[in-house]
Amino acid sequence: MADVTFTVDGKKLTAPAGTLLIEACRKAGIEIPAFCYYPGLSLQAACRMCVVRQEKVPKLQTACTTTVAEGQVFITESEEIAQARKATIQLLLGNHPLDCPVCDAGGECELQDMTFKYGAGESLYAEAKHHRDEQQWSPAVFYDRPRCILCYRCIRMCGEGMDVWALGVQNRGVSSVIAPNILGTDGGSNQLDCEQCGMCIDVCPVGALTSGSYRYKTRPWEMNHVSTVCTHCADGCKVTLGVRQTGDGAEIIRSDNRDKSGINGDFLCAKGRFGFDFVENPERLTQPLVRNSEGKLEPATWEHALRFAAAKLKEVRDSKGGAAIGVVGSNRTTNEENYLLQKFARTVLHTNNIDHERTTDYAAFARALAGHKGKTASLRDIAAAPAILLVGGNPTEEHPLLAWLLRTNVRLNRARLYVANTSPIKLDRQAAATQELPPGGYKDLAAFLDLGKSDFSKAVLAEESLVVIFGQELRGPAVERLVQWGLKRGNVRFAYLGDHANSRGAADMGLFPDLLPGYVPITEPGAFAEYPNLPAAPGKSLPELLAAANNGDLGALLVVGANPVLGLKTDPATLKDTFVVVQDLFLTETAALADVIFPAASLYEKSGTVTNTYGDLQMVRKAADRPGVKPEFEILVRLAGAMGVDVKTLVPFGTGAVSADLGQSRGVQAGEADRHAVWLEANGIEPRLSPFDPFAILDEIARLVPGYAVDRVNLFGANDVRTDPGAAPGFVPVSALTGADLVAPAHDGLFTSAALGRYSPALRELERHQAHELAETAAD
């Protein structure tokens, strides 16, 4: 639309014709108050707070429904307008309980802010207020009608935003209430049958909808807010963790993204919003355990455990060689930790026997794209793409943010979504066209589309620009075929759906027996030449490692944040002759077999970067602080140090390559600086940059890992930056890769998150609510 010029409060503003006045003003820094208006949702004009005076119009107009046109003149603040807003607040407060001192929203309540601004300080109302008892709709959502101002944000968010439509209005007039979709009969309570995302709580401008995990826990101003990345699925939502100091550390009390920064804006799903409580699970490991002579695990000091593990690893390496040692990396540790782990394996343990629990065939994807830069689609690309082909996968369950962005893109930008799947998925509701595929039909999809016979393929082929998103159903040659089809078409970009917070990072950082970081083949001449002792031959994959252990050929196994015993359904006896070192949060099935266990920090307790499944790189920041645990990065450095390695060869700290510690080790990671200083002094190292600071290794990653030379300023500014697997050098035919059959998708749903989900009481409770309570209600 052409730009128009109009006047607001005497200022000339310009905006495209048809822009909502409230938005045009916000862009120009003129704040117009509103309760019901919410960007991206349908208009209500119900709260009447955004009233403004438009020249030549007799009545006050609502800025949320007025579209700007050439020459219009508006006044947004005047005595008359302030009086109108004040009166509206007075009316609202007439029935409001004014229980601000105990209300969760107290201190961050839009009604409080407006009352403060417009000064409805005196009550004219002498009548009894309406009262209704508070209702609990689910473990996550509570509703307090007296506090509710009926702005309908929750209803619209649930319906339009989430496409769940679980909320509505009951009764009329002053008796109106927000009601969930399962109404209690015979005195039973109302229940909410939904995705339990908590978006309704998030958008509530007052304290009417409160969160089961946060209510009555704290006052907002007692928290610090740390912006980091969610540790659950592979979409990589930014979360703002509300953290409160405790006697011995810092606890997470709340998770949301109210500053709307990041790729997810204000969106979070149930896992992101409520699933942080695994951190506080009493089963957390908080001190190292070492198996004693009686075969029992017993607590040990860090020093003893490190020395013990280091001596044993060194012994195996020196006596049997690196080939007798295996390393299993994690889908959920940071890129820096994964990079360091493979470097540790390859240069300290002298082995290529490194792998991780593969949930997606990123290797095939990267190799198929090799040499074609800029062909992957970031979440931002997907959010703005005019056309999207979704092949396989079920984003609503497994990639809530992707599903949100697709729905939003279709709803607000009229993007065309094409869904090809072997079974119906919920996103079919947003699809311009769907194509049901026969079982196993994904591999032939490219050929089917090229035939152009069906309406579906005609529509897809008619798109000038396309983002192709495909699920884990496609692996190996099927990935290659689809990618080649797209590359041939030209204006096509790709995204490959995986599990877990940093599965993509684990693959990108080379946790493969045959591929180095950046999917560089181990056989590539001159690759990573600066690595000392880099073995030339590919190592063993994870199943091969376990087989070797079974045959008694594996002397030692280092497992970092993984649970192969459960994942690969391994017989515990397999590892009886292997020295097993585990770094993890909990005593998992694998950890239970270990000889040494190091208690590790979760993603919420450390700094670094993670890469989501779309290749968006984001920084994680330490939020919680749990005494006794250490980040994997530090554990690895200390382990190497205990093995007698010159730590500077592993982490190039203090070399001048990184001239400062970027504030990480002393700033956000409060408390670490002291430990760091003690360690430095003990090792006679100049106190300039901590070897435990994961950012010390960023330069090396940027230099050595193809696709990771990223925009550092934006990364540290907590923005998402792009990585590019297409930068992988050399040529390896996808058919020559051996990984496709090792891929085992986790298919985590809305309330499951592999190991972490098991230890999250909130997620377990939500799952139980959805599975049992509602089923019982239905049965009644």
Partner 1 sequence: MPRLVSHPDEVKIVSRRFGKGAANIDRYIELGGYESAKKCLEKGPDWIIDEMKASGLRGRGGAGFPTGMKWSFVPKQSPKPKYVLVNGDESEPGTCKDHLIFLHDPHAVIEGTLIAGLAIGAKIGFIYLRGEYRYLLDIMEKAVADAYSKGFLGKKIFGSKTEFQIITQTGAGAYEVGEESALMESLEGKRGVPRIKPPFPAVVGLYGGPTVINNAETIASVPHVIEMGAAAYAAVGSPRNGGTRLFGLSGHVERPGVYELPMGYNLKKMIYEVGGGVCGGRTLKAVVPGGSSTPVLLPEEIENLGMDFDQVGKAGSMLGSGGVVVIDDQTCIVEFALRTISFYQHESCGWCIPCREGTDWLKKSLTRFHAGFGEAKDIDNIQYLAENMLGRTFCPLGDAAAMPTLAFVKKFRKEFEDHLNGKPCPFARHVEMAVV
- Interface contacts to partner 1, rule CB under 8 A: 43-48, 51, 59-60, 65, 83-84, 87-88, 90-92, 94-95, 124-128, 130, 149-150, 168-169, 171-176
CB nearer partner 1, residue 94 or residue 543: 94
CB nearer partner 1, residue 44 or residue 338: 44
Q: What is the Cα–Cα distance from 406 to 418, expressed in whole angstroms?
A: 11
Beta-bridge mates of residue 609:
619
Tokens of 501: 């917070």
CB nearer partner 1, residue 93 or residue 623: 93
CB nearer partner 1, residue 116 or residue 731: 116
CB atoms within 10 A of CB 372: 17
CB nearer partner 1, residue 127 or residue 776: 127
CB of 26 to partner 1, least distance (A): 20
CB nearer partner 1, residue 123 or residue 683: 123
Q: Are 470 and 479 in contact (CB under 8 A)?
A: yes
Give CA angle at 150 (145, 156), nearest 5°: 115
Q: What is the Cα–Cα distance from 199 to 390, expressed in whole angstroms?
A: 25
740-770 in b/e form (b: 16+ CB < 10 A) is bebbebbebbbbbbbbbbbbbbbbbbbbebb
CB of 150 to partner 1, least distance (A): 7
Tokens of 214: 């946060």
446 burial type by CB count under 10 A (0-12 exposed, 13-18 middle, 19+ buried): buried
CB of 143 to partner 1, least distance (A): 16
CB nearer partner 1, residue 43 or residue 668: 43
CB of 45 to partner 1, least distance (A): 5
CB of 165 to partner 1, least distance (A): 13
Nearest CA to 746 among 755, 738, 754, 757? 754
Q: Are 392 and 470 in contact (CB under 8 A)?
A: yes
Tokens of 749: 């749903």
Q: Are 110 and 205 in contact (CB under 8 A)?
A: yes
CB of 98 to partner 1, least distance (A): 14
Helices 632-642 and 302-320 meet at what angle, rounded to 10? 60
CB nearer partner 1, residue 53 or residue 688: 53
Q: CA torsion sign, 566 to 572 to 578 to 579?
A: positive
CB of 141 to partner 1, least distance (A): 22
CB of 132 to partner 1, least distance (A): 14
Q: What is the Cα–Cα distance from 214 to 232, expressed in whole angstroms?
A: 19
Pairing mode, strands 238-246 and 249-256: antiparallel
Q: SS in 3 state form for 348-409?
A: HCCCCCEEECCCCCHHHHHHHHCCCCCCECCHHHHHHCCEEEEECCCHHHHCHHHHHHHHHH
Give the total residue count for the chain. Answer: 780
CB nearer partner 1, residue 60 or residue 515: 60
CB of 123 to partner 1, least distance (A): 10
CB nearer partner 1, residue 149 or residue 763: 149
CB of 87 to partner 1, least distance (A): 4
CB of 6 to partner 1, least distance (A): 18
Q: What is the Cα–Cα distance from 568 to 547, expressed in whole angstroms?
A: 11
CB nearer partner 1, residue 128 or residue 713: 128
